[in-house]
Structure formats: structure tokens, C-alpha cells
Structure 1
Amino acid sequence: MAVTALGPPVLPALSDPATETVLASGLLPELAYAFGGPFHFLLPDAFDVNLRAMQDALATAGVDGFVYFAKKANKAAVFAERAAALGAGVDVASAGELREALGHGVRGEHLVVTGPAKNPHLLRLAVQHGALVAVDALDELDAVITLALNGQVPPARVLLRVLPPVQPHSRFGMTEAELATAMDRCVVAGDALRMEGFSFHLSGYALQPRADLAARLAELCLKARVKGLEASRISIGGGLPISYTDADTWHTFLETQRPAHYHAGKTFQSSDFYPYHSPLAGPDALASLLATRPEHTGTTLADVLKDAGLELLLEPGRALLDRAGATVFTIQGVKDRDGYRLLTVDGTSLSLSEQWFNSEYLPDPLLIPQEPVAPAGLFPAGVGASTCLESDMLTWRKIAFRRLPRVGDLLLYPNTAGYQMDSNESPFHDLPLPPKVVIDRTERARPRWRLDRHFT
């Protein structure tokens, strides 16, 4: 059930044996003491499992495919290292991300460079290292062609990014007329350029629109081949959902949550929240996408790709980071309010990025008492940050803690590796950024840890 007998709705995260092993080891209080502030711990073995499962889903469907890890989802070096070790690529959108990926073992030809209006330095690095460039506009294509014609570099590799018809107001991608012009310019560029296909990215998580647009890109590839272009690959971006909690808990939470369950009567619309449960998540969502029948085709997306001789490119972020890390804070203040408590922790909501999108990171944090005996009961509490901002709340919702939260106790926010732990972090108040701790071996009685090797 998602509602306690006496308190506000709860939203426990799905069980994660690796995180539970770290908890049971007693390592977290030592790390909190050593760092003197909040920290993140990373579980790269989970990344490996997720990546292999996606590669297996492609193989099972008989689809030639390649997975790029969307680096924007987490800055940690360890995930680029694991992608390189497992034969995957990395999706980058800045010169810094490109350098990081190269420096941690990712081959240049296994990079895809995305994003709008790319910096000239980024484009030059991409072409020099043989990266695949998802071209977002005609002027950007011209810049790539100029680099390829004027530099001592291998042929520039490009995808042409398509403006999704179902999202016509998107600022990304090219219209049909622009695509026709772009293909003509690729033909004129000759051997200096390899036009490898088309790409798109859709907001949201629905599978049918992705399958429909992927089939349209397959048709575009066939038209491009008539012009003499290679056009052998399509990229469908990311957007594979994950599940943080089970279906009953999630739906009950949405039906029962109301302003009284939040500090200061804060209100959220259900549409503001990430879908914390998905019936098909990660690799299962990919398998279902490949089995989806695009409109007007009469066959599956997998068959469309195979019939056209196309390689499918993916750029997942969150889906590769499911259960690959968590965030730990120390409680440094407790206040009583009318029927609930306000906890203040030694960090900011910048380390839980959902708050900065007018939303809330909903999976319940776990209380880790530091005293041998903590009073049991029901202790609702919101969680605030150690800043001077009234709105800087990690959790507006009154969490139904089953132990009395006290100063010195730890709070563990589960499954934060995907976008949460650092996409919006800032040294506000001159607070240091929380370090990232890599847990290399969770099967040991005493897990081994090290600091992540991120360069910057």
C-alpha cells in the first residue's frame, strides 16, 4: 500500500541488493565523517548490467545496433570507463565532455556529438577524432563540410537531425525542406563527408511515437541512398523510462497526495512528476519498442530496420544508470512544526535536480540512525537545505519516517545516479560539490571504494 495507516503517502524505492549491501557494511557513516558533508556513491556494476541487457535486447530482436551513454546524465568518469570497456559509445554535447570521454578510454569513432549550434572548437575536435556529429541545422552542416574540406582529417561523419512532426515547436532538428537541402549539400561535399543517416529525440516516454518516427527515418535513408549517400544508421536518442517504485504504490500516491502532505501546503500537479513507475522500463522498454508496429507499415520496427539494412543507434542516460548510485546527507538540524518536523541537512537541493524543474524527487529517503536505539513510531518530516533560501527544500513532502530523525543521522536518497546527483549542482554559499565515491565491489563483506577519476 502507498498510504500508511496514520500518515501521509509513502513511496519506497524498489529493492536494490547492492545498495542494501553498502548500507549493511557500515561504510556510509565513515564516509560521511571523512568528507564532512554530503556525498554520492556510485555502483558501476549496475551500469554494466543495464548496458548488457540493452545490447541483448538488440541481439534478441536481430537488430544491428549500438548504444551510446548520454554523458549529460552523470558527470562521473567511471561510467565512460565502463562504456568503453563494454564496447559502447558516449553521447557528448561539449568539448569538456568529449575530452573526458576520450581521456577515459572511449574511441573517437565511438562518440556521437549532439546538441544545437555546436561550438566551432567542439566541431573541430569531433571531426579530427572521427566522431559522429548529429547536425542540427544547415549552417552547422556547412561548418562541418568546411572543416572536412580544409583540414587534414578523415571524412567528416554526420547524421541529419529531424524536427519531429509530433513536436513541431521543438527548437531542435530540421524541417523537411531543410533536410532536402542538407542532403543535396552532402552530395556536393563528396568524399569529404559521410552522411551516415538521420537522428531525432522526442520528449516524453511513449513508445509508439518513437516507432513511428523511426520508420519515417528509415524511409528517409532509402531516399538518401538514391542520391548516392550512405544513410545506413538512424538514432532515436534516449527517452527509455525506468521504474523507481511499483505500480500500486505509484498510482495510489498520485490518487491520494494533496497539499496537506507537503511542507507549507506546497502544491504539485501529477503532471509535474517524472513517471516513477513504468510498466516497461529500460531494456524491456527497448524490446517493446522494437516489437512495436509503426503506423502504415504492418510490421514491427525491428523488421523495418532489418529490411532497410539499418543500424539502430541509442543514446540512453537514465536507463543505463538505474540503481547505479545514491546520495547521502547528514541531518544537522531538527525543528518541530505543527504535527511534523523540518529536517535540515548538510547540502542543497541542487544535488537533487528535480526540485529545480518545479517538481519533487519522490522516492522516500532512508533514515540511517546513528544512535543504537532510535525511538520508533511515525514521524512525518520535510527535508530542507543548509542555505538561506526559503525554497531550497530537498523534499517538500512530509516523509513518514518510522524512526525519530535526530541530528547526526544520515539520509540516503536512493537511485539518484540518473540526472539527479549532479546535473544542477553548484558550489552555492561556497559549499564544496559533493564527492563521488565509486563502490567497485559490493559482493565483498567490506565493499571497496575509491574516488571517481573525473578530471575537472
Structure 2
Amino acid sequence: MLVTKQAQTRSTDLVAWRRHCRGTLPLDASVEEWMTDFFSDDNLPGLIEEHGSPLNLISTAPMRSNLDQLNQVAAERNLDFKVFFARKSNKCLAFVDQANHCGAGIDTASENEIQQAIDQGVEASQIICTAAVKSDSLIQRCLKNSICIAVDNRDELHVIVDQANRLACQAIVALRLGGFRHEGQKLPTRFGFDVDRDNTLLAELSDLPLSVQGIHFHLDGYDARQRVNAIAQSLEWIQALRDLGHSPAFLDIGGGFPISYLRSAQQWEMFWQEHEKALLGQRESITYRNHHLGRQQTEGRIVGKPNSYPYYQTPVRADWLASILDAEIGGQTVATKLRNSRIQLRCEPGRSLMDGCGMTVAKVEFRKQNAEGDWLIGLAMNRTQCRTSSDDFLVDPILLPTGEGTSDPMTGFLVGAYCTESELLSLRRLKFPTGVRRGDLVVFPNTAGYLMHFLESRSHQFPLAKNMVVSDAGEPIALDLIDV
């Protein structure tokens, strides 16, 4: 009963916090309990003063839960399975330690990420290098430490072979594939050997100083059916490798496991319906200067797709993985096919492991009205500190009224510190029913996956945001080792 009362209290508190800032069309974020505890923490303003704005707060506890969900799906199907954490999704070393502690590997995309994993005690067999561009120095580091390299192209393969011969060692590699066939079409990608055109590569590998341990691929998007077809075609390559005397033992299906940032499918659908009306001039704009978010108005109709992550979607994470494993290939489920092929299934999720693991907090520095009468609320941060490749982070921020003085209700936009007209932290029009004061704090929830670090920039010589680890074991909050 106590747990139920606590949950009810948190839910009531969260409703109270949300009332200070809502989108014109609300998009309520899913928020973890550890985050809500901070909303009323009297120490939060002091942390901002000490470490600067914005400040990233992270917790590794949700990562452990997210990993457990994926592992449980595989265990229920008696599948040999291993998760590799996509380090590029967040630079904090606390997540490397947590992944290692939970038995997950580390997917690295740079030489620094490799060395940091080694320095944190991750064994070489638990590291894979999937960097899109691999320098001579990076390849040497992999070879000297016996780290598996996902080979992307022939030039890269030649460098690996040359350096392996020079070092008198055998390179451990996985062949990265692309160009899979799906519903009569080739899936476009910039990654990997083409599954059809480059099949002559197989006959060229036998006399090279390589140990081909597996097949790897990366697909854009979240279509589970595409993954099933890619798995089927990858298994054909695995069999061909075995027929030629190689011993591939794993199939790595990359990352891109979907999550849902929002609580309500209805809010998500309503937002896009009203956004379309705004673009057609049928209602007032709900984005800054009626920003199109990737869609266009042409001859009275809306064309194009939103340049946005699907912030609400289903199925996600474990259920999505289960749908792939339970799909059929040639009359057998994918899970059965992998078991019968004696293949370990690997994956490299980033965002889905970071779900619930972080939030970004920034201080309000000013309020002013522009020439159009819109209020602009200036935060001590820039747009690269909460942004990926999407046009916008489509969740409602949470305003913590910690500033002094009074303020009238206002409607406007969050703007950042870069000296450009496009420096919007959120393109959506936001309502502030209780006003905004200088010194208030704005929280962007669930930013650990890519949003904190993927595009962060030091333009204008601004310092990068500090990252603080919130312990679930009662230990004091402390800077992540990446900042020490």
C-alpha cells in the first residue's frame, strides 16, 4: 500500500509540475521517479550555480532495467544473445561501467571510445569497433588489443590486412553488410558491403590474416520486417562463409531499437493534425514562425514526412525485439533459425538503453518580446546541447519556478545562446500559465540517449555541459569521470 501511495503522490506532484509549462498542443513526456525527486530538490539551483548551465543529470539504474528487458526476451526463447551498448549515444563513463557490470559489451565508434572502455576495465572480447571511418591509428589500436572490427568496405579491409601483416597478427573482424532486399526493393544505406554485388568478396578472404567471427549490419528506421529480411540474408552469408572454411559465430543486427518518449498516443496524433491545420492557414501557428518540421504545404495539401523521431510509437524495445524473434523465416521462427544455426544474436542499442537515464537542466537568463509580440525565454544553453538530427525535441519541458519576483502568464519560445536567428531550443509554442522568472530552471526530460552529447558544440567558446551521476545506492551526487 505504501508503494501505491508513493506512486500516487509522485503522479500528483508531476501534474503540478507540468502546469508551469505546456505546449500549445501538450506533449507530456514519460518521466522517471528519480527525475521527479529532483524537481523539488532544494540543492538543484546550487548545483547549477556550481557546475554551470546546462547541467546533465544521469542515472544508470534505468539502463540496468532496460538491459534486463532485452535479455529476458532472449532467455524466454532459449537464444544465445548479447547486447553491446552503443557508446556514441552518451559519453558518460558511468554507463560504460554499468554495461560492463551487467555483462553487456561496448560498441565503440572512435579511438577514444575504445581506449576509454579499456581503461574502465572492459575486456577486449567485450568490445566491437563499428566506426564509420577508421583511421590507421584506430585500426592499429584494435589489432594490438584483439578487438573485433566491423569491416565496412574494401579500402578498409586492405588497410586492416596490411597492418595485420605488419604487426604479424590475425585481425578479428565482422563483415558489415548492406543493400538488403525488402519487398522487392533494395534498402538504401551508406554502410557495408552490398549483400548482392559484393558476394565475390567471400572467395577472397581465405588467404588473408583474418578471423571472420561474424556478420554485422545497421539499418535506418524501426521497421521490424526489414530486420527479419536482413537477418535471413545475413544467415545466407554466414552459411557461405562456413562452406569456405570460416567459423562465424555471431550475427549483429545493430541498434535502432525504438522507444517512446511520450505518454499519450492521442497527444502525438493531435499535435500533427493541428500542425497540418497551421501549415494550411486554418489555425494559428503552433511552431516558431509556423516552422514546417519537415513537411510542406503545396497547392492546399501537406506533403513530405516530419523530420522527427517518432516520439510516440509502439511496440518498443523488448516487445519490438520479440516481434522480430517470433517472425518466421522459411517456416521457422527467427529465434529457432538462429538456434539451429548455432549463431549468437548480438545488437547495439543506444537510445533504448538510455531511456529514462538522463535529463538536462538549464537556467532562465532573460524574458523579452520580439517584434511579433512573442515572448522569448533565453536559457543558458545552446541548441546542440539537447538535439539530434530531428528538427525538434518534441516533448514538453518542465519549468521549475526557482527564480525571484513575480511574472504574468505568457506564451512564447525557448531560445539559446548562439548568435543566430535560428537558435531555438524548442520550435514549439509553449504556454507558461504561472509566468517565467529570471533564475527559474527548465528541465528537458529523458535526454540521455543522443540528445545530450551527439551534436554538442563549443562554438563561441562556451564550455561543454557538465554531467553528474545520481546514485541509486544513496551515494552523493558526483561528476561523471568523463568530466574529472
Alignment match, 1:197: 214
- Counterpart mapping for 1:31-430 below 5 A: 31-153=47-169, 155-166=170-181, 167-176=186-195, 179-189=198-208, 192-245=209-262, 246-257=264-275, 258=278, 260-268=285-293, 269=295, 271-294=306-329, 297-337=330-370, 340-354=374-388, 357=389, 359-371=391-403, 379-430=410-461
> For structure 1, which segment, 411-420 or 217-226, has the greater mean C-alpha deviation from structure 2 after superposition?
217-226
| Partner Cα separation in structure 1 for residue 123 and residue 227 of structure 2 | 28
Partner of 1:37: helix, strand, or coil?
coil
Residue identity opposite 1:200 in structure 2 = F
1:455 CA displacement? 6.7
1:450 to 2:467 alignment:
no
1:387 CA displacement? 2.5
TM-score, scaled relative to structure 2 = 0.86
| Partner Cα separation in structure 1 for residue 349 and residue 427 of structure 2 | 29
Residue identity opposite 2:482 in structure 1 = H
Distance 1:208 1:152, change over 3 A: same
1:409 CA displacement? 0.3
1:179 CA displacement? 4.0
Q: Residue 24 of structure 2 contacts residue 286 of structure 2 at CA under 8 Å; is this kept in 1?
A: yes
1:177 CA displacement? 5.8
| Partner Cα separation in structure 1 for residue 23 and residue 129 of structure 2 | 48
TM-score, scaled relative to structure 1 = 0.91
1:111 CA displacement? 0.8
Cα offsets for 1:11-48 (capped at 9, x unmatched) = 01013211112223333212112123211011111111
1:82 CA displacement? 1.0
Distance 1:352 1:371, change over 3 A: closer
Alignment match, 1:3: none
Partner of 1:403: helix, strand, or coil?
coil
1:307 CA displacement? 1.6
| Partner Cα separation in structure 1 for residue 78 and residue 222 of structure 2 | 23
Q: Residue 83 of structure 1 contacts residue 106 of structure 1 at CA under 8 Å; is this kept in 2?
A: no
1:202 CA displacement? 0.6
Partner of 1:272: helix, strand, or coil?
coil
After superposition, the CA RMSD in angstroms is: 2.5
Q: Residue 160 of structure 1 contacts residue 179 of structure 1 at CA under 8 Å; is this kept in 2?
A: no
| Partner Cα separation in structure 2 for residue 32 and residue 256 of structure 1 | 36
1:366 CA displacement? 0.3
1:169 CA displacement? 4.0
1:184 CA displacement? 2.0
1:56 CA displacement? 1.7
Residue identity opposite 1:115 in structure 2 = A
Cα offsets for 1:147-203 (capped at 9, x unmatched) = 3333244x32111111222555422111246643332232112xx421112111111
% of aligned pairs identical?
Answer: 29
Structure 1, unmatched stretches of 5+, are 1-5
| Partner Cα separation in structure 2 for residue 309 and residue 179 of structure 1 | 25
Cα offsets for 1:67-94 (capped at 9, x unmatched) = 1111111111111111111111111121
Q: 2:463 aligns with which of 412, 432, 446?
A: 432
1:248 CA displacement? 1.7
Q: Residue 162 of structure 1 contacts residue 175 of structure 1 at CA under 8 Å; is this kept in 2?
A: yes
1:334 CA displacement? 0.5
Aligned residues: 444
1:286 CA displacement? 1.5
> For structure 1, which segment, 228-237 or 26-35, has the greater mean C-alpha deviation from structure 2 after superposition?
26-35
| Partner Cα separation in structure 1 for residue 465 and residue 132 of structure 2 | 30
| Partner Cα separation in structure 2 for residue 431 and residue 197 of structure 1 | 43
Structure 2, unmatched stretches of 5+, are 1-21, 280-284, 296-304
Residue identity opposite 2:476 in structure 1 = R
| Partner Cα separation in structure 2 for residue 7 and residue 135 of structure 1 | 45
Distance 1:300 1:376, change over 3 A: farther
Partner of 1:393: helix, strand, or coil?
coil
| Partner Cα separation in structure 2 for residue 35 and residue 448 of structure 1 | 15
| Partner Cα separation in structure 2 for residue 229 and residue 372 of structure 1 | 69
Cα offsets for 1:94-118 (capped at 9, x unmatched) = 1111111111221111111113341
Residue identity opposite 2:292 in structure 1 = T
| Partner Cα separation in structure 2 for residue 372 and residue 330 of structure 1 | 13
